[in-house]
Amino acid sequence: MQKDIYNKTGKIQLSVEEQLRQTFGRGNFRDAGSVPSTMASATLSEQITVRQSPIDQSHTAGFDAWMRARGDAAGSVFTADTIADKYGVVKGSYTSIALPSSESYQVKCIKAGPAKESLELASEPLPAALEWGEVLVTLQLAPINPADLYTARTGGMYGDKQSAVPCVAGHDGVGVVTKVRKGVKDLAHGDWVVPAVTHLGSWRTLAVWKEADLLKLPKETLPIEHAAVFRELCLAYRLLEDHGNLKPGDCVILNAANSTVGRVIIQLCHLLQLRCVAVVRECEQPLEGFVQLANRLKALGASLVIQDSGSLKVELEKVKFFAKPKLGLDCVGGASALRLSDALAQGGQLVIYGCMGGKTPSWPWQSWVFKDLQVKGFNLRKWILRNSKQLPTMLDALGKLVMADKLQVAYTEYSFPAEFCEALDHAMSAGKGTKILLRFVESDQSPESNQPENKL
């Protein structure tokens, strides 16, 4: 097949795995024999000449460098649209669009405390009309994430933001735009959208949101169930591409490896020919339970699965796993983060992208001075705000892997609102190994045909 295509076109057809390796990590995973490097064959003087060309030394280059040094404000140009986005538009200067008389079923956080006590089902009428820059969204699917349960437990807190209670619960989900207002520039009826910011309240059937708070997803890229876990897929991808300067054969170690993000990381490591040490919480069940979990993660591509206790460094030495981890990925915090960093190679990097354990890790000074430990944090939403132009390329790569069945996400659906209590119980259970999704519309209805009045 590939030979026939080459004979006809003169081009080699790459598999989805080969396409991933060609573009991932700034070319670090590319087959060295597939793309000639002119710079590698150049002499040192030739390389210096190229890098110090007259163009790079021009006044324009100096001005560009100065603009870059100014940060995000460097390219800001104030127009009527940007002023309207920042300061709003005076009511009365435009005509509002009336909305049908409908109610939105939703989950509200009414106080701080355990999820069973702080969350309640409710219904609330939609606003009478859409205002400037607003859209009506019919929610399709929303996950129940640890961040959602943390926000419920703390009474509306997530990250450095606090929502006043009562507030609608849920940070993530995917919905379909069913009505737009003047002032909306990039969204249209039928578009798929996900929250671009936290605290929007995605556990509801209908929502009126500002376009500026939403991110449009191309429908053809991912199945809608995977669009609902868009953040987990992208987070795993960015953690590996942006950190550790990884190359094939390098080793990555991560905790909470049985989470959705952890499982996606394991599969990407396998596709990128990286060794992956999967660390899971201590099993409350007998050894048989751990063996079953380890076999499942190894089937996804994990090189080694160990329990999150004692010394991970000693455990790796005990089983003669001599590939020192170059990158550690932590979303638990506390003692678990310390164990990961202790297992890293000299000069290794630990990236913190969550703190499910609720305890801040603290390192002894020897780790910084003698082990050259590097620790940094990562937040996907902030990355998207700064790098929106790179998002389509990443989604395209992930979509190809999903459609080729090279990247799998386990999920369990529950109907909302009828099965919400069951979904919440399942989401709070340990070792579930599946993402809990709330489905707001019937599976036999296409998103484009869903109208709010048909659902309520």
Active site residues: 158
- The Cα 294–Cα 288 span in angstroms is 10
Tokens linked to 179: 């009505």
Is the separation of the CB atoms in 31 and 274 below 8 Å? Answer: no
Question: Which uninterrupted H or E stretch holds 265?
Answer: helix 260-271
Tokens 């060309």, residue located:
53
Tokens 């069973």, residue located:
116
Tokens linked to 301: 């591509």
- The Cα 281–Cα 429 span in angstroms is 13
Other beta carbons within 10 Å of 211: 21
Tokens linked to 359: 């305890």
- The Cα 247–Cα 262 span in angstroms is 19
Tokens linked to 227: 């669009």
Q: CA separation (Å) from 3 to 10, 14, 35, 130?
A: 9, 12, 19, 57
- The Cα 68–Cα 75 span in angstroms is 9
- The Cα 267–Cα 302 span in angstroms is 8
Q: CA separation (Å) from 336 to 298, 329, 332?
A: 21, 11, 6
